[in-house]
Structure 1
Amino acid sequence: MNDDTLRFPAEWEPQSAILLAWPHAGTDWADRLADVEETYIALVTAITRFQRVLVCVADDDVEAYARARLASARIDMERVAFLAIPYNDTWLRDTGPITLVGANGLRLLDFRFTGWGGKFEASEDDRLVERLADSGIFFNNTRQHIDFALEGGAIETDGAGSLLTTWRCLHERHPDASREDLSARLAAWLQQDRVLWLEHGYLEGDDTDAHIDTLARFAPGNGIVFQACDDPGDRHHAELGAMADEIAALRTIDGAPYTLHPLPWPQPVVDEGRRLAASYANYLVIDGAVLMPAYGDPADDRAADVLAAAHPGREVVQVPCRSLIWQNGSLHCISMQLPRGLV
């Protein structure tokens, strides 16, 4: 399985498709299915303007329904493919394949998925990568099973050997492992030169134990986009301020400071007395565009300006995501990019 050419590409590198799973009545979306379907339709509409999308469906009936809904939205169905496969829920950032690219093909890393530390049933989701690989839908790939709990939303790479993550999440999953041990394992499996750890940062309503993709993201040209909080009266202010200081102190592999892109803070979104995790950092980069979560907040447009500056040359497309954060995640959480050559 050793291949010295393997590399973990940045999200802004060329892609084959975006992987999604269609919500249905057998998932936790059942109570608000109509609302979340509208978000999925908007998301697929945005993706297919630029590239292909692969949609997992639970069975033939779900496929027929999803196909009809998307076709009625005048989506280019030539850019949509469906795959019937079992899944517990639709958070494919954490259950889909983490893909390395190399001169001799692509490698699908199949880490254990434990339902975010045993919080939720995950037996079908834990087999998703295996079943995707066995389906034959992917080209020129091998699968590597790794008996280690890790979610895709917990890690962020710049494609050049630096990995960014949070101590809170990885320590929660592996309380007996030292930072040095975790750094060595992640660097080896993910072909990284170094692992950068953030001690601070969290969002109320997030049940992932502080996934990095809700907090801070690499951007081209040695940039870091991060969720800031400029409201001194908000409970997040001190913690996100401490995170911002940590990020400002980080240095590139060449010893230079990163170019920082702080995102504006949306107004609190409260649903039935529960604060929801509305983060602009949970955006998705695709070929030619950045798809950003929008919450119907005055800060949406300012967030779009920040992302346009961080990802020059890409169109920023706002996708309504208030329905997603009801289930504690947003746009990046429900999607997984598939590198060029895989589909």
Structure 2
Amino acid sequence: MGVVLRHAGSSRRGSSLTARTVLTRKDPMTDLSWHLPADTEPQERMWLSFPRATALMGSTPWEISAARRAWARIAHEVADFEPVTLLVDPADRTMVHTYVDPIVPVIPQRFDSPFIRLTGPVFTTGPEAKVDANGRRALGMMDFVFNGFGRRPGLDYLSDSVVTGTMAQMTGATRQLSLMTLEGGAFVTDGEGTVIASEAALLDPARNPGWSRRQVELEFHRYTDVRKVIWLPGGLTRDAGPRGTGGMVDQLVNFASPTVLLLHWQDDPSHPDHAVSQTALELLQGETDAQGRPLNIATIPAPSTLTDRHGPVGWSYVNVLPVNGAVVVPSFEDEHDDGAHQVLEAAFWGRKVIPVPARQVYERGVGIRHVGLTQPARPARPTASAA
């Protein structure tokens, strides 16, 4: 197993397949845009939701317990590097610590989905001119519409707006309401003004009926410092099917750092994601980021396992959860695991790679990144004496 680094060069794509839109940048001296941070930026804490006993989690007590153990394992690994806050349904309050170490603080809160990255808000940080009473940059919270992944059968969750309200109250975040339907896996960002977005999710008529690419781009720009959106058709094949969420692009691509992009690479032509990987590479080659720098694409071969009891798998090594000083990565008990983890160690240089068993998470239709919601750290504005 190996990785192929592809420096952006001439593109083979057709112009009708992608948009390379650079949004007008405000004067940096007066720009008051909220910053949309990358996953790899310093973090104040990680939020998780303890799985409730629902049909999606399992039809038997053993299956539900397996899901809870998988979520607890991720919470424990993250807690070794930064604070974790765990939302727990009040009905589960008395038993949660049979799975989760009591050192992890829990908040009794009714919620619908344990995929907090997908159903929760998107945190931002304020510009230097906007600070709180302690001199730290303000914390923002983009509160997008969530409608159960376009009312997909079996995923008809509520909006979890009560959860967002609770998080805003606890963190003091400024809540910014948007009319756009969005899930946290439908885009990835480099933290420097570039977003890669899923057309299947954001232009889904069941999510944003009648919206165009330009409307989505302007909505990102309205609330954040995003200046360029690169469009991909969608995510992996499994996610587009009845057991998926319908277009999460972070299973296909993810930024390891600005200009360095990880791409899921399915080399076996018998797997439908072979064509997905090829198309994504064609679209991304020749692209530049918001600052005009070329993208360097690292293709990471998919697991050798091609199918499970539901059909072609959607297992992905690029769907990872960075934390302070480390990165939590999936392990599938697959012969490609070790090679993928070595590639990730090189891509996330300076971070410890923490493998966690991921099959139980993927069995529920999501990746490990979807389990945790990052709350970014807020740097203090330099004082006059420090300057």
Q: What is the RMSD of the two structures over their aligned residues, measured on CA atoms?
A: 2.1
Matched to 1:87, the amino acid is: F
Mind listing any 5+ residue stretches in structure 2 that lack a counterpart?
Answer: 1-29, 132-137, 380-387
Q: CA deviation at 1:335?
A: 1.2
Residue 52 of structure 1 pairs with residue 111 of structure 2 = no
- Residue of structure 2 in register with 1:118 after alignment: 151
Residue 244 of structure 1 pairs with residue 275 of structure 2 = no
Residue 98 of structure 1 pairs with residue 130 of structure 2 = no
- Residue of structure 2 in register with 1:21 after alignment: 49
- Residue of structure 2 in register with 1:318 after alignment: 355
Aligned residues: 331
- The answer on whether the counterparts of 1:110 and 1:130 sit within 8 Å (CA) in structure 2 is no
Matched to 1:42, the amino acid is: R
Q: What is the CA–CA distance in structure 1 between the aligned matches of 2:329 and 2:266, rounded to whole Å? A: 18
- The answer on whether the counterparts of 2:271 and 2:306 sit within 8 Å (CA) in structure 1 is no
Which of these two proteins has the greater Rg computed from alpha carbons? 2
- Residue of structure 1 in register with 2:65 after alignment: 34
Residue 271 of structure 2 aligns to a residue whose secondary structure is coil
* Cα 1:273–1:148 shift into 2, 3 Å: closer
Q: CA deviation at 1:122?
A: 2.1
- Residue of structure 2 in register with 1:109 after alignment: 142
- Residue of structure 2 in register with 1:74 after alignment: none
Q: What is the CA–CA distance in structure 2 between the aligned matches of 1:156 and 1:181, rounded to whole Å? A: 18
Residue 230 of structure 1 pairs with residue 277 of structure 2 = no
Task: Describe the superposition over 1:122-163 as per-residue Cα deviations: whole angstroms up to 9, x where unpaired.
Answer: 2252432123224xx214x21112222111111211111111
Q: What is the CA–CA distance in structure 1 between the aligned matches of 2:378 and 2:217, rounded to whole Å? A: 29
Task: Describe the superposition over 1:19-63 as per-residue Cα deviations: whole angstroms up to 9, x where unpaired.
Answer: 11001224621421121122122212211111111100000x513
Residue 185 of structure 1 pairs with residue 219 of structure 2 = yes
Aligned pair partner of 1:152 in 163, 169, 184? 184
- The answer on whether the counterparts of 2:192 and 2:258 sit within 8 Å (CA) in structure 1 is no
Task: Describe the superposition over 1:164-192 as per-residue Cα deviations: whole angstroms up to 9, x where unpaired.
Answer: 11212211132412222221122222321
Residue 164 of structure 1 aligns to a residue whose secondary structure is strand
Moved more, 229-238 or 24-33: 24-33
Q: What is the CA–CA distance in structure 1 between the aligned matches of 2:65 and 2:307, rounded to whole Å? A: 20
Residue 249 of structure 1 aligns to a residue whose secondary structure is coil
Moved more, 2-11 or 208-217: 2-11
Q: What is the CA–CA distance in structure 1 between the aligned matches of 2:116 and 2:306, rounded to whole Å? A: 24
Q: What is the CA–CA distance in structure 2 between the aligned matches of 1:84 and 1:3, rounded to whole Å? A: 39
Residue 163 of structure 1 pairs with residue 195 of structure 2 = yes
Q: What is the CA–CA distance in structure 2 between the aligned matches of 1:337 and 1:331, rounded to whole Å? A: 13
Q: What is the CA–CA distance in structure 2 between the aligned matches of 1:205 and 1:254, rounded to whole Å? A: 31
Moved >4 Å (runs of 4+): none
Higher relative contact order (CA 8 A, sep 6+): 2
Task: Describe the superposition over 1:216-249 as per-residue Cα deviations: whole angstroms up to 9, x where unpaired.
Answer: 1112141001111111222221221111121222
Q: What is the CA–CA distance in structure 2 between the aligned matches of 1:272 and 1:278, rounded to whole Å? A: 13
- The answer on whether the counterparts of 2:326 and 2:351 sit within 8 Å (CA) in structure 1 is yes
Percent of counterpart pairs with the same letter? 26
- Residue of structure 1 in register with 2:325 after alignment: 288
Moved more, 269-278 or 91-100: 269-278
- Residue of structure 2 in register with 1:202 after alignment: 236
Per the normalisation by structure 2, the TM-score is 0.80
- Residue of structure 1 in register with 2:383 after alignment: none
- The answer on whether the counterparts of 1:99 and 1:338 sit within 8 Å (CA) in structure 2 is yes
Residue 37 of structure 1 aligns to a residue whose secondary structure is helix
Q: What is the CA–CA distance in structure 2 between the aligned matches of 1:143 and 1:98, rounded to whole Å? A: 10
Q: What is the CA–CA distance in structure 1 between the aligned matches of 2:306 and 2:70, rounded to whole Å? A: 17
Matched to 1:199, the amino acid is: P
- The answer on whether the counterparts of 1:16 and 1:340 sit within 8 Å (CA) in structure 2 is yes
Q: What is the CA–CA distance in structure 2 between the aligned matches of 1:256 and 1:99, rounded to whole Å? A: 26
- The answer on whether the counterparts of 1:295 and 1:321 sit within 8 Å (CA) in structure 2 is yes
Structure 2 matches for 1:64-79, cutoff 5 A? Answer: 64-71=94-101, 77-78=102-103
- The answer on whether the counterparts of 1:228 and 1:262 sit within 8 Å (CA) in structure 2 is yes
Q: What is the CA–CA distance in structure 1 between the aligned matches of 2:293 and 2:168, rounded to whole Å? A: 40
Matched to 1:316, the amino acid is: V
Aligned pair partner of 1:87 in 105, 111, 116? 111
Q: CA deviation at 1:201?
A: 4.5
Mind listing any 5+ residue stretches in structure 1 that lack a counterpart?
Answer: 72-76
